[in-house]
Every structure is written in structure tokens, then in C-alpha cells.
Amino acid sequence: MRTISPSELTDWTFCQKYWYNKRTRNLVSNKISHRDLAAMMGTTVGYAMDGRYRGIASIECESYFWDLVKEQRSLGRTWDYGIEEDTLDRVLEKITNHIETLMTYEDQWLEGATVIASEPIMEEWGLARQDLVVETTTGAGRVIDFKCKYSDKATSFATSRDVDLYGNQAMLYPIAWNSQGFPLKITQMRFVYVVDGKPPIIEDVICNPKRQAKWLEMYDEACRQIYQHEAHPEVPLLENPYHMTPWGPCEFREYCASGEHEQGVLNEFIQVERKEKG
Ligand code: SF4
């Protein structure tokens, strides 16, 4: 039986139809949006940091980013309204700044901890990946996750949106690691929020076993519902009545509102095999 990642859980609990459109039909908009660029930015920063902790001498971030862009363009996707040539240059600049910020302030967010694993894959948890697993100087296990902000207006502290979005990671990533039988047990999760031109903000979440048990129950229940849906796809899926994601209006809003493929709105999407982490 396939396994479910924490981010798949987020999609399912946000809106079952969203989960279906994204993860069963593999639909993506035929436009490359700022949100896509933000994801490419985060992936490129993650690639650079992974290279650093794996001891890879030459990390070509710029060409890595352009390859991500080319890959999307080769699918036939075009630029969304408002994205110009210089937008991409600005994203690259941001990538460079974020990497520099993380390296400059490494002493603050790593605090002398020993890196145990970089981008480890959680096989039993839908192949979810964690940025770094470290052992602190006091011997505690900690997951470190980089949250690179894309917007120039972003705050460098965690907003309530961040807390909502990353709450499941804070509780489930440590459980995922601990369930794999490694000697180091994770008891803390550290989010490192990175914004242009400021020191990163560090947010620590101590893993409370009672809260984790509740998240695990929710995770198990969502997995049960997903497997049930996969066995009985004829049962209608629930909708999120607000149609708003944490990033703004849901990308499928016209598709869902129009009566779906009957209206031809499907032409605005393409089907793509998912590769993103988690
Ligand atoms: S538009 Fe609404 S119902 Fe459709 S996928 Fe998005 S949130 Fe769900």
C-alpha cells in the first residue's frame, strides 16, 4: 500500500477535491505563477544547502534554477500575468541572498550541532524529505527546516499562516524520523525563516508527546479516508467552501465552479507527474 506524506495530509484536510485535482489527476495550471517560482526558489536554496552538508565542492545554483525553469517550459506552460524576464533575475538574486544569509548566520541557527543527515527521505511517509537532521551540543535530536520567503513584503517572523501551514510538519516530521529506527531520537523541530536583507528568524517547536499523539491520530484517520476513497472513488469528495488557500484563491476555483470539464476549463490545466518533495 502506498504511504502518505505530511504535505499530502495537508492537501487532503484542506480540501478533498483539491487533493484529487492535484494528486490523482495531477493537474497543474498551464501558467507558471509566482507560487511556482517561489517553489523553485525554495528547491534551489535546498539544493545548495544539501550540497554544502554533503561536502559537494561545486554547487551551480544558477544553472540548477534555470533547469527547473526549462523543465516547466518544456511542458508547454507559459508565464502567468505579471511575470517578465526581470522577474526571473530577481528570483535568482533572492536565491543568492537567501543562501548567503543562511551561510552567514549558520552559527546562530545551527549552534554547533552535528549534521546527521541532509535531505533524508522518509520512505514510510510518502517519501517526505526533511532539510536537515542534527544532533545538538546537548545530544538532542532536531529537525531543521528552511522557510525561504518569496515576497518582498514578507515578514521575517512566523505568521499565523506559517503556523497553520507548518504545524503538521512540526509534529509529524519528528515522528516520521523516529519511526525509522535510527539511534538518534528527534525531540525538537527548528524552523529557520529567511527574508531578504535580514538575519533569519529561528522558531523552535518542542515536540510534545500528547500533541504528537493527536496529530498521529489525525494522520491515521486521513490515511484511512484516502485509502477508502481510492477503493471507492464513486463516493463524492468534500469541498472546502471558502476556496482560498493560504496563498490566495485556490488555483482550481474556476475549474470547480464551472462544473469542471463540461465547460472546457480543463484546457487551462495540463497533467504532469508530480516530482516535488513530500
Ligand atoms: S476551488 Fe474549492 S472545491 Fe475546488 S479544489 Fe479549490 S478549494 Fe477545493
Q: Which atom of ligand 1 is nearest to the CA of 250?
A: 6
Record the cell numbers describing residue 245, joined without a space.
488557500
Q: Does an H or E element contain 105, and which?
A: none
Closest CA to 132 of 105, 113, 157: 113
Question: What is the rounded CA–CA span in Å between residue 174 and residue 169?
Answer: 8
DSSP 55: T
Please give the model's pTM, rounded to 2 decimal places: 0.87
Question: From the CA of 41, how far away is ligand 1's center (Å)?
Answer: 26
Ligand 1 pocket at CB < 6 A: 15, 17-18, 21, 239-240, 243, 250, 252-253, 256
CATH class of 6-271: alpha beta
Ordered per-residue pLDDT tens for the chain, 278 residues: 778 988 898 899 989 999 999 999 888 889 999 889 999 999 999 999 999 999 887 889 999 999 999 999 999 999 998 898 799 999 999 999 999 999 999 999 999 999 999 999 988 888 888 899 999 999 999 999 998 988 776 655 555 555 555 667 777 888 888 888 889 999 998 989 898 878 998 988 888 888 888 888 988 999 999 999 999 999 899 999 898 887 778 888 877 877 655 555 566 888 887 665 54
C-alpha cell of residue 254? 474556476
- The CB density around residue 278, as the number of other CB atoms within 10 Å, is 18
Nearest CA to ligand 1 atom 1: 253
Pairing of strands 269-271, 31-32: unpaired
Ligand 1 centroid distance, CA of 179 (Å): 33
Q: Which atom of ligand 1 is nearest to the CA of 244?
A: 7
Burial 263-273 (b: 16+ CB within 10 A, else e): eebeeebeeee
Q: Ligand 1 centroid vs 131 CA: distance in angstroms? A: 30
